[in-house]
């Protein structure tokens, strides 16, 4: 494989994504939930196939974030797969970069590149590496992997938007264990000081990190109060309730004002019973038998 390969959008991706986004925004809540749920499970199935084939990945954290990322890409973000560097696009930063699998699967389903490329996940020289690479994967806004880096970059993006007097929005998804990195709180202070009203940080609050529960490692509670103390407009939301996510994420925000934090209560491994809420699935690969069983649970 050519090490300089850059993925390209699927044909007519822009129109398809724009149609889906318009339909979902205009749908009744029950219909919107049904469609987003089906999309999220298709994205989970593709992620399962990627990880099973590669023998590597972070399926637990991928699945806790799946409903959040699905709702963002198909109902919220103003992005264009065929023009991924459009200056006025909304920005999404996956700060928990080890969950690259769920981002790749979502980007492929949204048309940023052909779904067939997902079979190359983690292969030598594949653009779809274990952490996202903005120079090789359209739709990736910044390289992430070292925890605590993505949120500060997103604050920079939101700052640039404000300086441009632009209405584009910036969303960033962090892991809860990632919040033990002090760089996040420095970024939070900066965002509050600069009154970045169109910045939203979403915390994937699945309560596990590699090896242990977050509260046993370095406790984060009271997390809601901490974000509020840092000057954020803070809310708790069910991270697997598509309608609740849609309503929270589609809220109109001022260009200048308090930045926002959504603490999304999630379940690690959501969607597969034997993976859910199990710390060992942070970085565990399902066997062939487990893959078959998981696929049965994810087929709906």
Which tens digits make up the pLDDT trace of 17-63? 999 999 999 999 999 999 999 999 999 999 999 999 999 999 999 99
pLDDT recorded at residue 179 = 96
pLDDT recorded at residue 211 = 83
Picking from 212, 211, 223, 141, the residue whose alpha carbon sits closest to that of residue 179 is 223
**Secondary structure element (H or E) that encloses residue 24, with its range:** helix 13-26
To the nearest whole percent, how much of the chain has pLDDT over 70?
A: 98
Give the tens place of pLDDT for each residue, 116-139.
999 999 999 999 999 999 999 999
pLDDT at 295 exceeding the cut of 90: yes
The rounded distance, in Å, linking the Cα atoms of 48 and 287 is 11
pLDDT recorded at residue 251 = 93
pLDDT recorded at residue 1 = 41
Mean per-residue pLDDT of the chain:
95
pLDDT recorded at residue 14 = 87
pLDDT recorded at residue 6 = 78
pLDDT at 241 exceeding the cut of 70: yes
Strands, DSSP E only, in 26-184? Answer: 91-94, 170-175
Give 177's contacts (C-beta < 8 A, 6+ positions apart): 147, 208, 209, 210, 214, 217
- The end-to-end CA distance of the chain, in Å, is 35
pLDDT at 4 exceeding the cut of 90: no
Average pLDDT over residues 217-224: 93
Average pLDDT over residues 141-162: 96
pTM to 2 decimals? Answer: 0.96
pLDDT recorded at residue 118 = 97
**Secondary structure element (H or E) that encloses residue 208, with its range:** strand 208-209
- 262, 237 in Cβ contact below 8 A? yes
pLDDT at 300 exceeding the cut of 90: no
pLDDT at 171 exceeding the cut of 50: yes
pLDDT recorded at residue 2 = 45
- The position carrying tokens 């699935």 is 281
To the nearest whole percent, how much of the chain has pLDDT over 90?
A: 90
Residue 262 in tokens: 């959504």
The rounded distance, in Å, linking the Cα atoms of 197 and 206 is 26
Confidence of residue 5 (pLDDT cuts 50, 70, 90): low
Average pLDDT over residues 178-185: 96
């Amino acid at each position: 494989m050519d090490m300089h390969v850059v993925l390209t959008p699927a044909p007519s991706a822009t129109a398809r994504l724009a149609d889906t986004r318009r339909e979902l925004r205009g749908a009744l809540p029950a219909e919107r939930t049904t469609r987003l749920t089906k999309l999220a499970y298709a994205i989970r199935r593709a992620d399962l196939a990627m990880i099973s084939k590669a023998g590597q990945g972070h399926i637990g954290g991928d699945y806790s974030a799946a409903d959040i990322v699905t709702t963002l890409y198909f109902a919220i973000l103003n992005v264009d797969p065929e023009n991924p560097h459009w200056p006025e696009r909304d920005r999404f930063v996956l700060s928990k970069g080890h969950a690259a699998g769920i981002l790749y699967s979502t980007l492929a389903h949204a048309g940023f590149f052909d779904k067939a490329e997902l079979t190359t996940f983690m292969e030598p020289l594949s653009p779809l590496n274990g952490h996202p690479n903005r120079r090789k994967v359209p739709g990736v806004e910044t390289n992430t992997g070292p925890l605590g880096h993505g949120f500060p970059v997103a604050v920079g993006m939101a700052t640039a938007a404000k300086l441009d007097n632009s209405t584009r929005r910036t969303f960033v998804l962090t892991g809860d264990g990632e919040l033990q990195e002090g760089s996040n709180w420095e970024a939070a202070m900066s965002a509050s000081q600069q009154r970045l009203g169109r910045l939203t940080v979403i915390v994937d609050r699945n309560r596990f990190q590699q090896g242990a529960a977050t509260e046993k490692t370095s406790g984060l509670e009271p997390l809601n109060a901490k974000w509020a103390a840092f000057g954020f407009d803070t809310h708790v939301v069910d991270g697997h309730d598509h309608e609740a996510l849609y309503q929270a994420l589609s809220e109109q925000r001022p260009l200048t004002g308090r930045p926002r934090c959504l603490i999304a209560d999630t379940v690690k491994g959501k969607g597969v019973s034997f993976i859910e809420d199990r710390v060992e699935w942070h970085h565990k690969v399902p066997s062939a038998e487990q893959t078959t069983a998981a696929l049965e649970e994810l087929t709906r």
